[in-house]
Every structure is written in structure tokens, then in C-alpha cells.
Amino acid sequence: MLARQTLRFAARNARSFSSTAARPAAAEVKRLGVIGAGQMGLGIALVAAQKANIPVTLVDSSQAALDKGLAFAEKLLAKDVSKERITQEQADAARALLQPTTSIEKLNDVDFVVEAVPEIPELKFDIFAKLAQICPKHAILATNTSSISITRIAAATTGGNPNDTSNSSRVVSTHFMNPVPVQKGVEIISGLQTSQDTLDTAIEFCKRLGKIPSISADRPGFLANRILMPYINEAIICLETGVGDRDSIDAIMKNGTNVPMGPLQLADFIGLDTCLAIMKVLHSETGDSKYRPSVLLKNMVDAGWLGKKSGKGFYEYQ
């Protein structure tokens, strides 16, 4: 079974990187939906408005979250204007394309939707079950998950009939890197049910947003977090066991490997609760002890020291 899945992924991968003339053109995306007005969702929505010049329906169950997200978008646009990256007219045009709502039903006219809510499996399954009923039948249903199986998310759209792939075949992952307006990378992950047309459309749409796609198999952690999170976790273990202090750990990685920030600072930026959640997924789904979360990481999350977003992590923030 595993061999057949591997061959299937390899064949799809080969087709994905073949010449454009060798496959049908990807479907055009004229309207985007984004679920979640937090840092990731807002970033995806703003980039789509700026780079692709398309209207974005931004959905969040909380009006306060929508207000906060849009205020942040206006701050980012004002910063770009002040640095003369864009004109005020361009900023106003991008802001006008962001259409906030607390109703998921408003996604009934999108061509592509990206879910960017917290990494809670049941929450995502519930959202995708609804999207399968609300969105047009041609719409691509994408998730920004960093750790949850795309195959499992796609299965939530079948209504209990796994043989009906009319909805699950249009589920894919577009895992954007944080912060979305700055980072070029995006992981594209297919579930077993994902069709080639869905994959092609996701790749081309991400390129339209100015991103550089990388293709990953649907395995725990995918590519980015399978590599990144053990690196961060090991840095925390080095701090926990006294191999080095905070500043030395971050300094050696910045000055020795030319990364822009050290692993402990990066963990604060990502969110220690997010790091812990991903390590737990890697540990439970692989059964490999090398993915066991650091005791210090768990203790800091228990203390509510989540990093930059809470004001305190390995560093303190105003």
C-alpha cells in the first residue's frame, strides 16, 4: 500500500514540474476567500489584494478579530506608502479589496478559499465539511495547516461517503510561511484524494501571489516543520540542560550559519504553543522519540509564556 502511494506521489510530482504545455492550464482565480483574520489569514488576504489585485472575502467568527486584522493591514499598507514601495492610491485600492464578514456563507461565490484557523483538527474538519456545501463546485478548498494530514481534512468533505471524491479531490494545502507579506516560500501538499487540476491551480495561484512553491508529500510535519521544529526543540533542550545560555545559542546560529534570527528568538516569533503543538503531532504520528517535545517548552506554554504574542517567551517584548 505504501509503495503504491509513494509511486502515485512521484508520478504526480513529475507531472507537476513538466512543461506548462504538457498539461491543461490551471483554473483562473477571480475571487478569494480566507477564513481566519489572524496574522496568517490577514497576511494571505493582503498579499492576494496587493499582488493579484483580486477581491478577498475575509471571514472570522469574531468581529473584534476582523477589526484588529484590518487595522493591522492598514498599518502595513501605510508603512509601504511611507517607504515609497507603493503609492497611496495603490494602498487604498488594496484595502478596498478586503471585504470582512462574520458569515462563512458569504464564501458562496469564491474560486479559491484558504482556511487559516488554529491547528485544531476538529475545527478544521468542521470548516471543510461546511465549505464543501457552501462553495461553488469548482472552488479549490485549501488549508494553511502546518501539521494536520491533508488526507484527513479532505475526508471531512465527503459526507461519510469516501468513494464520492467530488469534494475531497479539490482539497489541497497551501502552507504559507510567516510573515506572509515577507516570506517567499509556500508548501503545496496534496492529500491522497487531491486531483492534478487542483494541484496545478494551487501552484499557479501561489506563483501569482509572488510565492515560490515547494511540493511536499502528506507526511507528519511536511517539509518545513519536519526540518524546522526539531531544530528549535533541540535548541530549547540545549538551554534546558545547560549546554549554552539563551544569547549564546541564538548567536552561534546567527553568526555561524547566517540565519536571520536564532532558534529561540524564532520560536518566540512563531509562538511556543504552536511549536509545542507541532512537536506533539510529529511525536504521536511518527512514534519516534527524536520528536519528543522539550520539558522546558511544555512548561513555558503551561506558564502562558508563548513568545512575542503574549509579551514574554525566551525574550521579553513590549
Tens digits of residue pLDDT in 174-231: 999 988 999 999 999 999 999 999 999 999 999 999 999 999 999 999 999 999 999 9
Helix (H, G, I), strand (E, B) or coil at 126: helix
pLDDT at 17: 43
* Chain position carrying cell 545560555: 245
Provide the pLDDT for residue 113: 98
Is residue 187 part of the annotated active site? The answer reads yes
Q: Architecture of 223-310 per CATH?
A: Orthogonal Bundle (1.10)
Q: How much is the pLDDT for 1? A: 44
244 appears as a binding residue in the annotation: no
Active-site annotation holds for 225: yes
Question: Is 146 tagged catalytic?
Answer: yes
74 is catalytic: no
Sorted by where each begins, the domain ranges of the chain are 32-217, 223-310
pLDDT number for residue 12: 53
309 is in an annotated binding site: yes
β strands within the chain, DSSP E: 32-35, 56-59, 98-101, 112-115, 140-143, 171-176, 185-190, 212-216
Catalytic one among 167, 169, 225, 233? 225
pLDDT of residue 119: 85
Residue in 144, 146, 233, 294 annotated catalytic: 146
All residue ranges of the chain with pLDDT < 70 are 1-26
How far apart, in Å, are the Cα atoms of 281 and each of 55, 189, 241?
35, 17, 24
**Is residue 285 a known part of a binding site?**
no
Q: Is there a binding annotation on residue 36?
A: yes
Q: Name the percent of the chain lying above pLDDT 70.
A: 92
Q: Is 119 annotated as a binding residue?
A: yes
pTM of the model: 0.85
In this prediction, residue 146 carries a pLDDT of: 87
Q: Is 262 a known ligand-binding residue?
A: no
The per-residue pLDDT for 74 is 96
Q: Exactly one of 175, 190, 216, 294 is catalytic; name it.
A: 175
Q: Are strands 185-190 and 171-176 parallel, antiparallel or unpaired?
A: antiparallel
pLDDT at 22: 45
pLDDT of residue 26: 66
- H or E, element range at 127: helix 121-134
Catalytic residue among 187, 190, 216, 294: 187
Element (H, E) at 270: helix 263-270
38 is in an annotated binding site: yes
CATH topology of domain 32-217: Rossmann fold (3.40.50)
The single residue listed with the C-alpha cell 490577514 is: 42
